[in-house]
């Protein structure tokens, strides 16, 4: 009987093109629904996990989804800005721990997340090396950022201008790396964390320069009248914040009007959470307070609906594929009548011939199954890179 398997294997090996097409078709038929389900389920699990860990997010009135994407995943699309006064009001209410977030700038493709040290406690982020940022201009980087840029404690990163021609706009700021976070498998691995005031410096809302009252700055003084000093263009502004010049950095304008992207709100109990939600019901004061998990659940409902349509489509395609493959095998039997007659004449039984055909079909399906499993495994491992290539992100 092993001869039938051998003959079947040799037949498939001889007809390489036909075998490849058959195996490829069946592989795709098995792989595609599995991959779609895998991607959607894994995405849903990861998204829900991070959203579930984030009780409330406050932002300016606008798209709740954009707000969640920005606050939780540091997505580049900017929700409308919240003012620092809005944050102060929330904080001073004393109903919850409030964590300001300002995610607008980038450095070599990695988002710069302006926040406070409370964020690290909230997300349970630990240092793999170094220490937390201690002053303006220092940053703590995620594990993937460290690996991608081959950067560590003591190195520095420079913020990227928002546009190439933005000469008068955002100032590139050299940020010194004070610590590297341990990997967490979350978007935090891909972020550069700074004090939110550092993000304001990047935006140009704050700057540092020589103290005009000191004699060393005499050459930079254009005019000095009673109670007022006017500087000339020679006034040296600092492009890097160091322990020596940090105290010279200051902000102009009303800090209360300075922007933030969102505020992560962590109430100690449900009662405080409900009180806060009541305060900002119906986008009161132009501010929305959202529960990230419910925003994502709404989205995931859509995702699962789309997934079901895709799987239904793939099932119909699979039926068509099975029909075509059946046709191929039937036609193949017709074409191989002479071959089967010869085998019968030299003593092959009907069972032998049936085994031969079954082995060919079995080899094709087994090979397809193995390939589909392998592709599914690869998809799980490298899905991010694959999507990056095809979606261009």
Partner 1 sequence: MSRIRNTLLLTLLALAACGETTAPGDRPADSEHRRPLIVASNYPLYFFASEIAGDSADVKLPEMAGDPANWKPGSAEISLMQSADLIILNGAGYEPWLGWVTLPESHLVDSSAGFSEEFLPLREEAVHQHGPQGEHSHQGVAFTTWLDPSLAAKQAMAIEQAISRLVPENAGQHRDRLAALSARLETLDQAFRETFDRLGDQPVLFSHPVYQYLESRYSLNGVSVHWEPGEAPGTRAMLALSEILRSHPARLMLWEEEPLETTSVELRKLGVQSLPFHTAANRPDDGDFFDVMEVNVASLLLNCCGTTIGPQQEPE
Tokens, residue 391: 């979606």
**Binding test (CB under 8 A) with partner 1, winner from 64, 105, 110, 195:** 195
CB atoms under 10 Å from CB of 107, counted, come to: 22
Q: Does residue 100 touch partner 1 according to CB under 8 A?
A: yes
Q: How far apart are CA 194 and CA 178, in angstroms?
A: 10
Report 115-154 residues binding partner 1 (CB under 8 A): 116-118, 121, 124-126, 128, 131-136, 138, 143-144
How many residues make up the chain in this entry? 393
Q: Does residue 165 touch partner 1 according to CB under 8 A?
A: no
Least separation, in Å, of the C-beta of 117 and partner 1? 4
Q: How far apart are CA 68 and CA 90, in angstroms?
A: 18
Q: Rank residues 73 and 363 by Cβ distance to partner 1 and give the closer one.
A: 73
Encode 173-224 in three state secondary structure.
CEEEEEEEECCCCCHHHHCEEEEHHHHHHHHCCEEEECCCCCHHHHHHEEEE
β 192-195/110-115 pair status: parallel
Query: In this chain, which stretch among 47-55, 158-166, 285-293, 367-375 interacts with partner 1, using CB under 8 A?
Result: 47-55
Q: Rank residues 135 and 375 by Cβ distance to partner 1 and give the closer one.
A: 135
Query: In this chain, which stretch among 96-104, 149-157, 354-362, 367-375 interacts with partner 1, using CB under 8 A?
Result: 96-104
CB neighbour list of residue 285: distance below 8 Å, 6 or more residues apart: 86
Least separation, in Å, of the C-beta of 42 and partner 1? 5
Least separation, in Å, of the C-beta of 274 and partner 1? 20
Q: Rank residues 187 and 367 by Cβ distance to partner 1 and give the closer one.
A: 187
- DSSP character string of 279-332: HTGGGGGGEEEE-HHHHHHHHHHHHHHHHHHHHHHHHHHHHHHHHHHHHHHHHH
Q: Rank residues 22 and 68 by Cβ distance to partner 1 and give the closer one.
A: 68
Q: Does residue 33 touch partner 1 according to CB under 8 A?
A: no
Q: How far apart are CA 293 and CA 64, in angstroms?
A: 11
CB neighbour list of residue 188: distance below 8 Å, 6 or more residues apart: 123, 125, 142, 181
CB neighbour list of residue 309: distance below 8 Å, 6 or more residues apart: none
Q: Rank residues 38 and 371 by Cβ distance to partner 1 and give the closer one.
A: 38
Least separation, in Å, of the C-beta of 247 and partner 1? 5
- Short-list 293, 292, 289, CA closest to 281: 289
- DSSP character string of 12-70: HHHSHHHHHHHHHHHHHHHHHHHHHHHHHHHHHHHHHHHHHT--EEEEESS-HHHHHHH
**Binding test (CB under 8 A) with partner 1, winner from 189, 202, 258, 290:** 189
Q: How far apart are CA 201 and CA 139, in angstroms?
A: 13
Report 52-91 residues binding partner 1 (CB under 8 A): 65, 69, 73, 75, 91
Q: Rank residues 116 and 272 by Cβ distance to partner 1 and give the closer one.
A: 116
Least separation, in Å, of the C-beta of 48 and partner 1? 9
Q: Rank residues 190 and 355 by Cβ distance to partner 1 and give the closer one.
A: 190
Q: Rank residues 46 and 323 by Cβ distance to partner 1 and give the closer one.
A: 46
Q: Does residue 209 touch partner 1 according to CB under 8 A?
A: yes
Q: Rank residues 6 and 377 by Cβ distance to partner 1 and give the closer one.
A: 377
Report 286-345 residues binding partner 1 (CB under 8 A): 296, 299, 302-303, 306
Report 224-263 residues binding partner 1 (CB under 8 A): 227-231, 235, 237, 241, 243, 246-247, 249-253
Q: Does residue 44 touch partner 1 according to CB under 8 A?
A: yes
Count of residues touching partner 1 (by CB under 8 A): 80
Q: Does residue 375 touch partner 1 according to CB under 8 A?
A: no
Query: In this chain, which stretch among 1-9, 112-120, 332-340, 366-374 interacts with partner 1, using CB under 8 A?
Result: 112-120
β 192-195/138-141 pair status: antiparallel
Rounded to the nearest 5°, which phi and psi values hold at 31?
-75, -45
Tokens, residue 10: 């040799």
Q: Rank residues 42 and 162 by Cβ distance to partner 1 and give the closer one.
A: 42
């Amino acid at each position: 009987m092993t001869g039938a398997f051998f003959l079947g294997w040799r037949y498939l090996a001889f007809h390489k093109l036909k075998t490849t097409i058959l195996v490829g078709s069946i592989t795709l038929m098995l792989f595609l629904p599995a991959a779609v389900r895998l991607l959607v389920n894994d995405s849903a699990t990861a998204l829900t996990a991070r959203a579930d860990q984030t009780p409330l997010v406050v932002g300016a009135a606008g798209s709740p989804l954009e707000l969640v994407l920005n606050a939780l995943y540091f997505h580049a699309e900017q929700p409308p800005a919240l003012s620092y006064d809005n944050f102060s009001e929330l904080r001073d209410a004393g109903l919850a721990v409030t964590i300001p977030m300002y995610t607008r700038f980038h450095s070599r493709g990695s988002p710069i997340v302006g926040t406070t040290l409370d964020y690290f406690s909230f997300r349970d982020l630990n240092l793999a090396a170094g220490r937390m940022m201690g002053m303006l201009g220092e940053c703590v980087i995620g594990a993937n950022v460290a690996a991608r840029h081959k950067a560590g404690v003591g190195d520095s990163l420079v913020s990227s201008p928002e546009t190439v021609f933005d000469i008068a706009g955002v100032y590139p700021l050299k940020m010194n790396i004070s610590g590297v976070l341990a990997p967490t498998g979350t978007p935090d691995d891909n972020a550069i964390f700074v004090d939110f005031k550092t993000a304001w410096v990047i935006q140009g809302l704050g700057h540092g320069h020589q103290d005009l009252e000191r004699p060393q700055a005499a050459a930079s003084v254009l005019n000095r009248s009673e109670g007022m000093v006017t500087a000339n263009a020679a006034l040296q502004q600092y492009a890097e914040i160091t322990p020596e010049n940090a105290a010279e950095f200051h902000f102009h304008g009303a800090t209360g009007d300075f922007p933030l992207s969102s505020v992560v709100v962590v109430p100690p109990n449900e009662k405080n959470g409900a009180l806060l939600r009541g305060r900002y019901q119906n986008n009161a004061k132009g501010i929305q307070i959202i529960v990230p998990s419910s925003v994502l659940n709404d989205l995931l409902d859509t995702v699962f609906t789309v997934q079901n349509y895709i799987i239904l489509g793939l099932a119909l395609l699979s039926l068509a594929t099975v029909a075509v493959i059946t046709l191929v095998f039937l036609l193949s039997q017709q074409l191989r009548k002479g071959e089967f007659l010869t085998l019968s004449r030299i003593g092959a039984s009907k069972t032998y011939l049936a085994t031969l055909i079954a082995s060919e079909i079995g080899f094709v399906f087994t090979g397809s199954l193995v390939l589909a499993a392998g592709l599914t495994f690869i998809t799980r491992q490298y899905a991010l890179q694959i999507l990056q290539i095809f979606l261009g992100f």
